[in-house]
Amino acid sequence: MDSFINAFIAYFVIVDPIGASLIFNALTSGKDRAYARMMAVRSVVISILLVFCFGFWGVRFLGTLGIEMESFKIAGGLLIFYAAFGMITKPDETSGSGNSDVFEDISVFPLSIPLISGPGCLTLTILLFSDVREQELSFLPLVGAVFAIYAITLVCFLFSKPLVRLVGQTLNNVFKRLLGVLLASLAIQFIADGVKGLMN
């Protein structure tokens, strides 16, 4: 249960289903409900496949490149910290690319990559799955956390219009910055573990 809760919180912070739904609403503005529903389902399915590919085979891919896991933890921690720093300091931009004529199929870009399974999410996936593998624990809590997060994300996408009215921009900004602090703390822990591993 502890592994599930830790993974769930980490993924919830970096995927940010509520914030992503605000962007989803802007991107699908002016489109019919069938189009929005299709893009929501497709983007979530693609993201789940990406996360599991990186989770189960990401370390092996790093090994073929000659990259040690400790080095990746440091680099990944820095990347996640950069994302967290942006969440805390940068102003929110939810309506930047809402032109429906530019992206007809928005499920891969920008919804799946980089919105809900971007570099930060995939980096976090490799780190979490590698920790479970090193400790010889079960992958079930991680798999469950991934499915739970993307199920929540799908629900937020499907109900993005009422969610936008309910949450509002101000509350989302506050929520996003609080999550950014938690994500920054997680990134520092990854960096510390990587440095400790290299020293040993």
Average pLDDT, the chain: 83
DSSP per-residue letters across 37-82: HHHHHHHHHHHHHHHHHHHHHHHHHHHHTT--HHHHHHHHHHHHHH
Confidence category of residue 30, pLDDT binned at 50, 70, 90: confident
H or E segment at 2?
helix 2-15
* Chain segment 38-53, per-residue pLDDT in tens: 999 999 999 999 999 9
Per-residue pLDDT at 140: 94
DSSP-derived 3-state class of residue 118: coil
Q: What is the mean pLDDT of residues 64-89?
A: 79
